[in-house]
Structure formats: C-alpha cells, structure tokens
C-alpha cells in the first residue's frame, strides 16, 4: 500500500512538471506573438484601413481582435473602427427583429444610440419603442387586473338634473357565472375629497348572466358641493364585487 502511494505521488509530480513546462512554452509563445504584433502594429493598422475601404469586414474584425487581444485597442483610429463595426453588427441584428418585439428593438436601439449619440434616427427609435414597451406593459397589467375581477365597468358618468345627482352607465359580467341582485353604489365628494352622500340602486338586469351587459342608474338628491364621484358594485345582501375599471 505504501508503494502504491509513492507511485501515485510520483505520477502527480510528473504531471505537474509537464503542465508547468507546457505553461512556460505557452507564455513564451504568446510573448513572441505579442512582440511580433507590436513590431508590425502599423502594418496591422493599415490593413484594417484597407479592409474597411473594401468592405472586407470579416478581415477587419479579425485584425481589430488582435488589437484587443494585445491591449492596443486605443491605437490611432481603432476605437472609431471598432465603434463603426459594432454599429453595423447591431444594425444587422435589429433588421432581423420584428417590429412587434418592442423590448428587443429597444435594447438594440439603446445600444446604437449609445454608440452614436448624435443620430436623430436612433433617438427617435428609442423613444418609439420605449412608448411601445410602456403600452404593452400597461396592457399586460390591465389584463392581469381584469382577470381578478367579476365585473367590468364599460362606461359611466354623472351629472345633475331637476335637483338630482344622476349616475348611469353600463356594467358587464366577466365572472363566468350568474350574478344576482347586483347594486351600483355611488359616493359623492366635495373638491377636498370630503364625503357628501352616497346612494345605491339595483342594476337593470337581475340576474346578470355571464358576458351579459346591463345598464344602471343611481339617483340621489343633488348638493351643489358635489364635485367628484366614486362608483363601486356590491351584492344587495353581501359584500363588494371586484370590478375592473379600464384606465385610458
């Protein structure tokens, strides 16, 4: 057993020595390559200029990669060439993305705008897709909120007539089940949000079937201090009904 451990240790030492030897060779090779590159750096640079003029972009990218590899990315016009190639790459990527993918378009146009801040086109695209992303996020949030509700308020308004405050509109059943004895409850406030009064009334359709839309009207004595109103829905002998109010 002791002999086995000795043999294993010798093998491990041998492998380590071989690895260290190979590592020294690799570093010496890299050092020579770097020295050779630095010796001919101007020639490499002129090659990039030539490739760029000929639209030989793959060759230009290869040469630029050498400047990056040997930490010479700031040599002469290399930053400018790198920026132009990056713009071309991003332009090619964004051309393949459908306009409906607002987030992907926004991400790439933000990168393009960062590379070329003076471009009015990039600024316009960023603003456009930011708006689309915000719209889609709002729609997704609205959809999530609607899924949590039993009713959807399609429209409503209030005003005064002949000494009454009258609130009316339409409500839709989105619960997937029959809803019976649904009431509209309207609360009125002054311009400082102090409550003035509230009143309720059963909606017109009783019961309200799934996907059915019913009108409603709530009348209460008018007070000239009424400035704002809030509406909610409840069961006549029960609690509040979750209602989706679509925000515009």
Q: How confident is the model at residue 83 (pLDDT cuts 50, 70, 90)?
A: very high
Q: Which top CATH class is 151-237?
A: mainly beta
| Choice among 10-24, 47-61, 160-174, 193-207 with the minimum mean pLDDT | 10-24
| Average pLDDT estimate for 215-230 | 97
Say yes or no to pLDDT of 223 above 70: yes
CA distance 168 to 164: 12
The pTM is what?
0.66
Question: How far, in Å, are 90, 137, 145, 214, 246 from residue 142 at the CA level?
Answer: 33, 9, 5, 22, 7
Say yes or no to pLDDT of 12 above 90: no
CB-based contact 181:215 (threshold 8 Å): no
Say yes or no to pLDDT of 248 above 70: no
What is the residue-wise DSSP string for 174-200? -SSS-B-SEEEEEEEE-TT--EEEEEE
| Average pLDDT estimate for 156-162 | 95
Q: How confident is the model at residue 14 (pLDDT cuts 50, 70, 90)?
A: confident
Q: What percent of the chain has pLDDT over 70?
A: 97
Q: What integer pLDDT is reported at residue 144 of this predicted model?
A: 94
User: Residue 243's CB: how many other CB atoms inside 10 A?
Assistant: 19
Say yes or no to pLDDT of 11 above 80: no
| Average pLDDT estimate for 117-134 | 97
Q: What integer pLDDT is reported at residue 6 of this predicted model?
A: 67
Say yes or no to pLDDT of 9 above 90: no
| Average pLDDT estimate for 215-243 | 96
Q: How confident is the model at residue 95 (pLDDT cuts 50, 70, 90)?
A: very high
Q: Where in the chain is the domain with CATH 2.60.40.3230?
A: 151-237
At 188-206, the pLDDT tens digits run 999 999 999 999 999 999 9
Residue 160's contacts (CB-CB under 8 Å, 6 or more residues apart) are 166, 222, 226
The answer to whether the bond into 76 is cis (omega within 30° of 0) is: no
């Amino acid at each position: 057993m002791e002999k086995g451990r000795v043999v294993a240790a010798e093998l491990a030492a041998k492998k380590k020595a071989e690895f260290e030897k190979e590592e020294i060779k690799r570093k010496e090779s890299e050092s020579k390559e770097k020295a050779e590159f630095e010796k001919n750096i101007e020639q490499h640079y002129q090659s990039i200029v030539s490739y760029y003029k000929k639209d030989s972009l793959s060759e230009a990218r290869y040469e630029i990669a050498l400047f990056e590899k040997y930490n010479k990315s700031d040599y002469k016009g290399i930053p400018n060439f790198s920026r132009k190639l990056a713009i071309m790459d991003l332009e090619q990527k964004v051309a393949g993305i459908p306009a409906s993918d607002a987030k992907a378009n926004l991400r790439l146009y933000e990168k393009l705008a960062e590379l070329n801040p003076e471009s009015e086109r990039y600024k316009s695209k960023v603003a456009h897709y930011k708006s689309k992303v915000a719209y889609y996020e709002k729609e997704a949030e609205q959809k999530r909120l609607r899924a949590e509700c039993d009713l959807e308020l399609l429209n409503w308004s209030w005003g005064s007539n002949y000494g009454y405050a009258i609130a009316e509109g339409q409500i839709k059943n989105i619960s997937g089940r029959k809803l019976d004895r649904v009431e509209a409850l309207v609360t009125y406030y002054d311009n400082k949000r102090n409550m003035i009064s509230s009143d309720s009334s059963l909606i017109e359709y009783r019961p309200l079937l799934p996907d059915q839309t019913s009108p409603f009207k709530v009348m209460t004595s008018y007070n000239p201090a009424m400035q704002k109103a809030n509406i909610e829905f409840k069961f006549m002998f029960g609690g509040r009904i979750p209602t989706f109010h679509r925000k515009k």
